[in-house]
């Protein structure tokens, strides 16, 4: 941050690379029981949500991320009625899930109630009322505890977490993936964000490897999120049946990034990503 009228939010994307967003009005800045929460206006990208100094979303590009986290699994599943979301307290993933008319129930499990409260109040453009949809159930507890104890089964489990550091690490480990597999119905799919293959190839490699110990099939696909490190973003999708390389339905709602062709193309990987997955 610099002077009063020239304040910047700077994320250290690596030890030697930073991304800076010029800020306008600060909306909310507080320490919750779990993390530092910041909501602020930026001068070019709309509102910013950052947790522990990491960009979770900006209004300008959040749809790119949320659509790509949700739609390959939901359009690739034959009948996605019950969906479990771990994390995603801003409501963007929930919003995209609820756009699928097949979905009868969406359970969102978020560790930090203050994230949901802050986003509900100040990020209407992101959640669009999804917290109050009659199909939504909100649970506040660590995702790993929820899946360990849950008796219901889901068609799709989506992990919308922050990066695999500190308190988020359990959400990227084999034990958690095993509990998720138990919580999936037959034909179910698991999907998570798996970081920047450019700056953090070892994170993707690790998640891919851990998922491979648990699920019969694991796939990787890519999207573009300009405010995440390097912009090129990876997702891992896993299950015991066919991977959803082809969408089974077309969107009957407007999207900003996802199309059926983008869905197919996202699974085509550049050489450096193929190579790191074949190690
Ligand atoms: N490097 C940041 C990755 C964050 C991924 N999840 C963001 C949550 C938005 N719903």
CATH number of 15's domain: 2.30.140.10
CA of 226 to the centre of ligand 1 (A): 12
Band of residue 180 on the pLDDT scale cut at 50, 70, 90 = very high
Same domain, 135 and 260: yes
For residue 2, tell me if it sits in a domain: no
Considering the candidates 160, 163, 179, 261, report the single residue annotated as catalytic.
160
pLDDT at 97 over 70: yes
- Do 105 and 25 belong to one domain? no
Q: What is the distance in A from the centroid of ligand 1 to the CA of 56?
A: 4
228, pLDDT greater than 70: yes
Query: Which one of 16, 35, 58 terminates a domain?
Result: 58
Q: Could you tell me if 54 and 74 lie in one domain?
A: no
Atom of ligand 1 nearest to the CA of 161: 6
**Cα-based distances in Å from 27 to 47, 156, 228:** 9, 34, 21
Structural domain including 149 reads 62-277
Percent of the chain with pLDDT over 90: 95
Q: Is 0.85 topped by the overall pTM?
A: yes
Task: Verify that 240 and 272 share a domain, yes or no.
Answer: yes
Residues 41 and 107 in one domain: no
pLDDT tens digits for 15-48? 999 999 999 999 999 999 999 999 999 999 999 9
Number of domains in the chain: 2
Ligand 1 centroid from CA 267, angstroms: 20
Residue nearest to atom 4 of ligand 1 (CA): 162
Ligand 1, atom 5, lies closest to the CA of 162
Task: Indicate if 269 and 135 belong to the same structural domain.
Answer: yes
Asked if 125 contacts 27 with a C-beta cutoff of 8 angstroms, the reply is no
Average pLDDT over residues 90-97: 98
Atom nearest to 229 CA in ligand 1: 1
Same domain, 198 and 241: yes
- Identify whether 160 is a catalytic site residue: yes
125, part of any domain: yes
The contacts of residue 278 (CB under 8 Å, 6+ apart) are none
pLDDT at 5 over 80: no
Domain match, 101 and 188 both: yes
Atom of ligand 1 lying closest to residue 126 CA: 10
| Mean pLDDT computed over 200-218 | 97
Lowest mean pLDDT among 57-61, 94-98, 163-167: 163-167
């Amino acid at each position: 941050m610099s002077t009063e009228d020239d304040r910047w939010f700077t994320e250290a994307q690596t030890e030697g690379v930073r991304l800076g967003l010029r800020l306008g009005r600060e909306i909310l800045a507080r320490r919750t029981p779990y993390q530092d929460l910041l909501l602020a206006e930026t001068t070019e990208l709309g509102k910013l949500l950052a947790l522990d100094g990491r960009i979770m979303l900006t209004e300008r590009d959040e749809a790119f991320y949320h659509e790509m986290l949700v739609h390959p699994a939901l359009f690739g599943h034959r009948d996605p009625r019950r969906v479990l979301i771990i994390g995603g307290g801003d409501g963007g993933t929930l919003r995209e899930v609820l756009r699928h008319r097949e979905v009868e129930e969406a359970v969102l499990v978020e560790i930090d109630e203050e994230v949901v409260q802050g986003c509900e109040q100040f990020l209407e453009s992101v959640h669009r009322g999804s917290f109050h949809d009659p199909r939504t159930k909100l649970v506040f507890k660590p995702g790993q505890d929820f899946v360990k104890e849950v008796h219901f089964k889901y068609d799709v489990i989506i992990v919308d977490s922050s990066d695999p550091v500190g308190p988020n690490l359990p959400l990227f480990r084999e034990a958690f993936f095993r509990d998720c597999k138990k919580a999936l119905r037959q034909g179910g799919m698991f999907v998570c964000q798996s970081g920047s293959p450019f700056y953090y190839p070892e994170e993707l490699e690790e998640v891919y490897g851990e998922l491979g110990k648990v699920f019969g099939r694991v796939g990787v696909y890519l999207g573009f999120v300009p405010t995440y490190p390097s912009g090129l973003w990876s997702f891992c999708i896993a299950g015991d049946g066919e991977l959803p390389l082809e969408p089974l339905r077309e969107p009957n709602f407007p999207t900003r990034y996802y199309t059926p062709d983008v869905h197919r193309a996202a699974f085509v990987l550049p050489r450096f990503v193929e190579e790191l997955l074949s190690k």
